[in-house]
Amino acid sequence: MVDPSAVSRARGCLLGLGIGDALGAPAENLSRREIQQRWGGVSDFLTDQVIGTDDSEYAAFIGDLLLQHGRDLTVADVVAAYAERVLPLEVQRGAGFSELGAVENLRRGWRPPGSGAHLHPWSDGVAMRAAVHGVFAAGDPEEAARLVSLESSVSASGEGVYAGVLVAATVAALLTGADLDVALDHAQSLLPQESWTVASVTRVRAIDDPDAALEAVVSPRFPWTDLAPEAVALAVWAALRHPDDYRVCVTGAVELGRDADTIAAIAGAMVGARVGEEGIPATWRDRLGPLTGRCLGETVRGVRLEELAEQLLAVGGR
């Protein structure tokens, strides 16, 4: 029998990811100032369409692999799943740079680690989906780190993988009731201490002001917003500011702008794992429907993230 509090945390984690993703999607690639000018701040969904993006759909895709293969998951299993379920898609609507780059490399016949050695290995595409590994390996951050490192070798390398490890390991600890600071300390200890990811996360943990957090980690002359060390650091900043208030955490994450859907998805997964399903506003939970498949098509269409969370917890705990 799975402990009910663990079930609530697991459901809260992936609901938190999905709701954060949908909340942030309309603000993606906007600046903090542009969001304030357009909406005057964020307190609820910004449009009538509550739809998850590639963040939620890739989480479901990888989560299903964990259900199929469990702790015996291999790189070959991940490559085979991409070949069967992703490569045949003519269009991946809204997919990130790292996933698109990996798909092109796989189509050329490249295999990991070569498939993840493209121009955008530092993308936050791994971090956005990494919470599923933490739910599966609840209470075992090292196993969550191992699984996400293995899985992500297909689509990323270096900082892109490190950011995913930080998210997965943190969630794994939070699922068993760990304090967020303690969970982050341990997750950071699993990474190369000289890494960009560790440096960025360490920097924002000492900052209270949102503008100062942005200034500390954003590269102002770089054209893209999906840098994994930046997105994960900003998500950590939002989660640490309001670790027990899901609503304030994710709306604050969206208000940061940049890769707003991913920042809010990661922050939402962390705080959702901490407060449980009941800590997420019921009206928001009710509005988050099944995945539409807008990015990955039939392979994830109809998946409900909260149900996936329960399945991952049950299979991972065997």
- 170 annotated as belonging to a binding site for a ligand: no
Q: Provide the pLDDT confidence category of residue 241 given band limits of 50, 70 and 90.
A: very high
Residue in the block written with tokens 């707003």: 260
The mean pLDDT value of the chain amounts to: 96
Predicted confidence (pLDDT) at residue 186 exceeds the cutoff of 60: yes
Q: What is the pLDDT of residue 172?
A: 99
Paired with 227 in beta bridges are: 123
Q: Provide the pLDDT confidence category of residue 94 given band limits of 50, 70 and 90.
A: confident
Instruction: State the total domains in the chain.
Output: 1
- 179 annotated as belonging to a binding site for a ligand: no
User: What percentage of residues in the chain have a pLDDT greater than 70?
Assistant: 98
For CA atoms 153, 11, 314, 182, give the dihedral sign.
positive
Kindly compute the dihedral angle of the four CA atoms of residues 249, 254, 258, 260, in this order, to the nearest 10 degrees: 100
**Structure token digits, residue 121:** 């290995």
Q: What is the pLDDT of residue 1?
A: 41
Alpha carbon distance 19, 17 (integer Å): 6
Q: Provide the pLDDT confidence category of residue 223 given band limits of 50, 70 and 90.
A: confident
User: Of 70-79, 117-126, 174-183, 307-316, which gets the smallest average pLDDT?
Assistant: 117-126
Q: Provide the pLDDT confidence category of residue 91 given band limits of 50, 70 and 90.
A: confident
Kindly compute the dihedral angle of the four CA atoms of residues 23, 27, 29, 30, in this order, to the nearest 10 degrees: -150
**Structure token digits, residue 103:** 């798909």
- 225 annotated as belonging to a binding site for a ligand: no
- 226 annotated as belonging to a binding site for a ligand: no
Q: Provide the pLDDT confidence category of residue 263 given band limits of 50, 70 and 90.
A: very high
Predicted confidence (pLDDT) at residue 3 exceeds the cutoff of 80: no
Residues in the chain: 318
pLDDT tens by residue, 24-61: 999 999 999 999 999 999 999 999 989 999 999 999 99
The verdict on pTM exceeding 0.75 is yes
Alpha carbon distance 8, 298 (integer Å): 28
150-163 CB burial, b ≥16 within 10 A, e <16? bbbbbbbbbbbbbb
Q: Provide the pLDDT confidence category of residue 220 given band limits of 50, 70 and 90.
A: confident
Q: What is the pLDDT of residue 92?
A: 86
Is the bond into 229 cis (omega within 30 degrees of 0)? Answer: no
Q: Provide the pLDDT confidence category of residue 237 given band limits of 50, 70 and 90.
A: very high
Instruction: For residues 2-17, give the mean pLDDT.
Output: 89
Alpha carbon distance 279, 81 (integer Å): 34
3-class DSSP state of 227: strand
Q: Are 139 and 102 in contact (CB under 8 A)?
A: no
User: 246-255 and 32-39 helices cross at what angle (nearest 10)?
Assistant: 110
pLDDT tens by residue, 28-38: 999 999 999 99
Neighbour-count burial of 245, counting CB atoms closer than 10 A to its CB (0-12 exposed, 13-18 middle, 19+ buried): middle
Alpha carbon distance 67, 313 (integer Å): 10
User: What percentage of residues in the chain have a pLDDT greater than 90?
Assistant: 93
Q: Provide the pLDDT confidence category of residue 4 given band limits of 50, 70 and 90.
A: low
Q: What is the pLDDT of residue 66?
A: 99
**Which residues are within 8 A (CB) of 283 and not within 5 positions of it... i.e. 6 or more apart?**
none
The domain that contains 97 carries what CATH number?
1.10.4080.10
From the centroid of its chain, how far is CA 299?
Answer: 19
Q: What is the pLDDT of residue 22?
A: 98
pLDDT tens by residue, 64-86: 999 999 999 999 999 999 999 99
Q: Dihedrals φ, ψ of 246, to 5°?
A: -60, -45
- 55 annotated as belonging to a binding site for a ligand: yes
Domain that residue 216 falls in = 4-317
- Per the model's pLDDT, the better-predicted residue between 119 and 312 turns out to be 312
Q: What is the pLDDT of residue 188?
A: 99
